[in-house]
Amino acid sequence: MSNLTIIDIPSPNYDSRPFGTRIDLVVIHAISLPPGKFGTGRVIDFFTNSLDPDVDPYFPGIAGFKVSSHYYIERQGRVIRFVDDEKRAWHAGVSHFRGRDNCNDFSLGIELEGDDFNNFSEIQYQRLNELLKLIKINHPDVIRDRIVGHCHVAPQRKSDPGPFFDWSRVGVELV
């Protein structure tokens, strides 16, 4: 099995998947709060509805949002689980993949601490691939071509994980 350490920090932002839904997609995202700043802990606050809108001028515009992800990988490699795989996290929003709408119904969301302007860390790629191997064990329908970016399922709205994300380093063992 895996030696990957996953820290649980439950988010209230989830609900049930439609009955009988199989998880067969992983959506990779990038987030930093405030934008472009890493290691602040504010992403955790955001996903747990405890973001203080007075801390940064950017926060009042997002403080009331109810958003979550199944997993979050910080730049130093810590992996946090906010929502259990079997529940529907609120990460993809209005989305579409291969003829199916509402990707949250059948996907897992993985947020990486990052943005559109910086390379991701070596340890993030390592942890991401360890996590994807574990996901594959639990959800065998997740194969390499079903690991996509937020930009692929919501291209009119989203650009993440962004141009500095190296897709060639992701899920190569999940073909």
Domain map (residue ranges) of the chain: 6-174
> What pLDDT does 173 receive?
74
Report pLDDT for 120.
98
Q: Which two tokens stand for residue 148?
A: 């996509």
**Residue 8 above 50 pLDDT?**
yes
pLDDT at 1: 45
42-63 tens-digit pLDDT: 999 999 999 999 999 999 999 9
pTM above 0.75, yes or no: yes
Q: Is the model's pLDDT at 116 over the cut of 70?
A: yes
Across 106-126, average pLDDT: 97
In which band, very low, low, confident or very high, does the pLDDT at 102 lie, cut at 50, 70 and 90? Answer: very high
The Cα–Cα gap between 70 and 88 comes to: 8
Residue 122 bears catalytic tag: no
- Other Cβ atoms within 10 Å of 172 Cβ, number: 11
Q: Per-residue pLDDT for 175 more than 60?
A: no
Q: Look-up: residue for tokens 């969301």? A: 109
The residues near 34 (Cβ < 8 Å, ≥ 6 apart) are 40, 42, 56, 58, 59
Q: What is the mean pLDDT of the chain?
A: 96
Give me the percent of the chain exceeding a pLDDT of 70: 98
The pLDDT value recorded for residue 174 is 67
Which CATH entry fits the domain spanning 6-174: 3.30.930.10, 3.40.80.10, 3.40.50.1820, 3.30.70.360?
3.40.80.10
Q: What is the mean pLDDT of residues 25-46?
A: 98
Q: Which residue among the candidates 111, 113, 130, 173 is catalytic per the annotation?
A: 111
When pLDDT is averaged across residues 126-150 and rounded to a whole number, the result is 96
Q: Per-residue pLDDT averaged across 35-39, rounded? A: 97
